[in-house]
């Protein structure tokens, strides 16, 4: 594989194939990843072709998606419909590992490196943005269930990216649309929400911080806070993987300023990669600004997010995958849960 520099920025593309400008932007040294959305998907073959186009611009680029199951699953038609993690954990907890394996196999077969999963936030019925994306209200159950899910992803060679550090379940605000503040003291957060991240940090290849403000630690959202990312996540929890910001186009991130200021705030706080989605002009401004700053990404932390070697070893073929006994058995079991 021809090696090319991986940069600090993960961005999105607008359609089901690349424009000439998008090809140029993706090839920029400050770009390290592309995140795909539902608008980028029409069919399995089209998605395979799109990912080939992306890799033609930068062969080792990271391609990701939010593919959690439930209401957060970007690719649906043709893919196994995954139930929410809350429903799956309630109905068939022993299926969590095999479900993660199936997800990994399907995504890697179309050229995806990793999904932003699992969600390690606590279930909170008052939190519409998290809700049944969470495994459980109990930190102990989250650790058990998410641990099985992580092992399932890793067993097939896919990285696991836990979110939203240190826990989004204590607030009911949607940071896509507004700022959110969790006013609890640190002892309460450490005893509850932080536990899944603390216990699972060594198993995760990536972590995504929340855009939530915890005044007990910092006046900044977690993704812009060195106290949280370097002090607590790196030093206290001994996390050595990649830290990937939540989308810097979300309203709660605007507190840091314009797109470049947001990106710099995330990187200076300790993020390995900054996500700028649904804002092409903002992404270009961020890329050009980082180039002028001369910032270089820590690729050592980004490389474990790649599934390139595993795909090459496995010889993934979408149609062959669907004939394997493992895929068929898990697919049927998941459908049984969907029918409950």
Q: Which residues are catalytic?
A: 176, 246
* Closest by CA position to 280, among listed 243, 253, 249, 256: 249
* Closest by CA position to 205, among listed 287, 272, 112, 106: 272
If you count them, how many residues does the chain have?
A: 340
Backbone angles phi, psi at 179, to 5 degrees: -75, 155
Residue with tokens 């390290």: 32
Task: Dig out the tokens for 12 from the structure.
Answer: 């999105």
CA atoms within 13 A on the CB side of 102: 26
Are 42 and 16 in contact by the 8 Å Cβ rule? The answer is yes
Task: Dig out the tokens for 49 from the structure.
Answer: 């072709």
Are 133 and 149 in contact by the 8 Å Cβ rule? The answer is no
Q: Phi-psi category of 79—alpha, beta or left, where left has phi over 0 and alpha has psi -120 to 50? A: beta
Are 222 and 212 in contact by the 8 Å Cβ rule? The answer is yes
């Amino acid at each position: 594989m021809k090696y090319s520099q991986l940069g600090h920025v993960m961005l999105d593309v607008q359609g089901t194939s690349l424009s000439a400008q998008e090809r140029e932007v993706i090839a920029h040294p400050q770009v390290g990843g592309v995140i795909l959305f539902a608008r980028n998907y029409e069919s399995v073959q089209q998605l395979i072709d799109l990912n080939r186009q992306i890799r033609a611009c930068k062969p080792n680029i990271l391609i990701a998606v939010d593919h959690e199951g439930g209401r957060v699953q970007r690719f649906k038609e043709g893919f196994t419909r995954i139930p929410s993690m809350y429903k799956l954990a309630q109905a068939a907890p022993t299926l969590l590992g095999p479900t993660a394996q199936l997800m990994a196999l399907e995504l890697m077969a179309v050229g995806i490196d990793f999904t932003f999963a699992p969600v390690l936030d606590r279930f909170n019925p008052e939190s519409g943005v998290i809700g049944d994306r969470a495994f459980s209200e109990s930190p102990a159950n989250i650790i058990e269930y998410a641990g099985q899910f992580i092992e399932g992803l890793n067993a097939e060679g896919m990285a696991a990216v836990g979110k939203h550090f240190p826990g989004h379940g204590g607030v009911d605000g949607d940071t896509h649309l507004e700022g959110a503040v969790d006013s609890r003291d640190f002892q309460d957060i450490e005893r509850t929400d932080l536990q899944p991240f603390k216990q699972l940090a060594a198993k995760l290849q990536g972590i995504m911080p929340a855009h939530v403000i915890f005044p007990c630690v910092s006046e900044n959202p977690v993704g812009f806070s060195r106290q949280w990312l370097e002090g607590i996540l790196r030093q206290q929890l001994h996390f050595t993987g990649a830290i990937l910001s939540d989308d810097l186009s979300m309203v709660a991130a605007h507190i840091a300023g314009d797109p470049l200021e947001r990106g710099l705030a995330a990187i200076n706080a300790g993020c390995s990669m900054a996500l700028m989605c649904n804002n092409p002009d903002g992404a270009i401004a961020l890329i050009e600004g980082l180039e002028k700053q001369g910032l270089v990404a820590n690729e050592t932390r980004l490389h474990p997010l790649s599934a390139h070697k595993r795909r090459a070893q496995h010889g993934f073929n979408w149609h062959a995958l669907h004939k394997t006994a493992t895929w068929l058995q898990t697919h049927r079991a998941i459908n049984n849960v969907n029918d409950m």
